[in-house]
Amino acid sequence: MSLPSWVPDWRSGLSKSFAENNHNQKIDGLAIAMCRKMEQDGTLPSWVPDWRLVLRRSFAWLTHQNLDPLFQASNNQPPTIHDEDDNRKLALDGYIVDEIEDLGAPWTGGSRVVDGSSSRHPHEEYLSLLAQIRQMCLVSKGKGTPIYLTSARADEAYWRVPCGGLDQDESFQPKPAGPACKLKYEHCIAELTLLIEAYAMTMAEYEIRAAELAHMGKRRTDDADTARNTGTMYRVRMQEMAGKRPFISKVGYVGMGPSYMRAGDAIAIFNGASVPFVVRPVGENTYRLMGECYCDGIMHGEFIQGGGQVHKIVLV
């Protein structure tokens, strides 16, 4: 993202200057997703990025701006920004998908834990997140809501959600997740389990399990699949979801959204945005923007294709 090119009128106040600038700029989904506020500053509207901070990149970030987005949640609908008397409000056309029903624990990204002079990866945290999402997917299926076109696609949610629906190639560039990503997920579970259980194994037992794991990592979906389908590759994508937490909505959508979201928040799609967002109701058709999310089953325009109704959504 480039630096802002406007010259602010500081006499109008910091928060007003930021808000006016963002009304005059073309705001894309990525820019909105990067909103972060200084804890001591509660004066900025929720949709205005705080340019004083280092902004977190989107989990769907691409290295080149001329590449097509990895997702198209708004189904290629053009953005519409409505005029409002108050520049601190942003009124957009969009869709309210559903209300958040329950949440899992925040995901920190699986960073190394420093213990004195040594450090280790928190294998248990990875497994805990995967287990939480697997359980939510079972609850979702039990609701019986037809949010997927097929039962087979619904069965893929448990391995798509933890990695934000993305795999990566050998050059670590993100790409849409496919069948090979499921192999990486399965290898990830086996690898993490081995790393935890290794402390109670003899060397002979460990060598047998390690050999089985190495063989498992050589599996391919087909002859054209030349990538390494290993758990390490899967965990790299899990790390991109740091700062989020798993959620399930009332009708059964499962995904990952901002760590500070809560039950009662809503999943929203704004026209022109590639990814959905989590918003918090504060009045009739009025919301505070919480941040971007991955919501399985709506990332490629499925909700809109299924007849979702467009609304004017006002962000404050």
pLDDT digits (tens, 9 = 90+) for 237-280: 999 999 999 999 999 999 999 999 999 999 999 999 999 999 99
Question: Count H helices, E strands: the chain?
Answer: 9, 13
% pLDDT > 70, the chain: 80
Type and span of the H or E element at 303: helix 302-305
pLDDT tens readout for residues 137-150: 999 999 999 999 99
| Residue 156, Cβ density class (10 Å: 0-12 exposed, 13-18 middle, ≥19 buried) | buried
pLDDT at 101: 98
Whether 315 and 288 have beta carbons less than 8 Å apart is answered as yes
Domain boundaries defined on the chain? 10-102+244-315, 109-239
* Mean pLDDT, the chain, whole residue set: 84
Residue pair 97/268 in contact (Cβ under 8 Å)? The answer is yes
Cα distance between residue 108 and residue 100, in whole Å: 21
**Res. 176: pLDDT tops 80:** yes
Low-confidence winner among 65-69, 187-191, 290-294 (lowest mean pLDDT): 65-69
